[in-house]
Amino acid sequence: MNHAMIAQALFEALAQTDDQRVRALCSPAMLLRQNGGKPMDLETLLRFNRRVHGVVSGFRYEEAICAETDNGFVEEHAVRGTLRDGSLIDFAACIVAEVREGQVISVREYVDTAAAAPMLAALAASK
């Protein structure tokens, strides 16, 4: 599986909350940082993903543009779905990932925090 295929499979698995598939695609030691924040390990990412799906129905990634790099991939995509109050979320994300031996080992995710604010507020309220 090349790096672009790994990216596609990873985002499909996250959109479908397929934890088993995400674990197969990621190293158990994988770390993710969102907008340079505190790193999340794989299990924290999976919990976060389930929380997102709890407040956003129809959560999905669309309009993906993926470029392979020597050691991973860079992907831009739109994050979309519907919050419980019926409002739509639609914000841009850029992901820089490193892949080693067929598994994602690190992810740096950058999102448009102003556009993502309604989803972030819904997540904060759901704690």
User: Does the domain formed by 3-125 have CATH 3.10.450.50?
Assistant: yes
Q: Where are the domains of the chain?
A: 3-125
Question: pLDDT tens digits, residue range 39-72?
Answer: 999 999 999 999 999 999 999 999 999 999 999 9
Name the band, by pLDDT with cuts 50, 70 and 90, for residue 127: confident
Give the type of residue at 115. A
Question: pLDDT tens digits, residue range 67-123?
Answer: 999 999 999 999 999 999 999 999 999 999 999 999 999 999 999 999 999 999 999
pLDDT for the residue numbered 53: 97
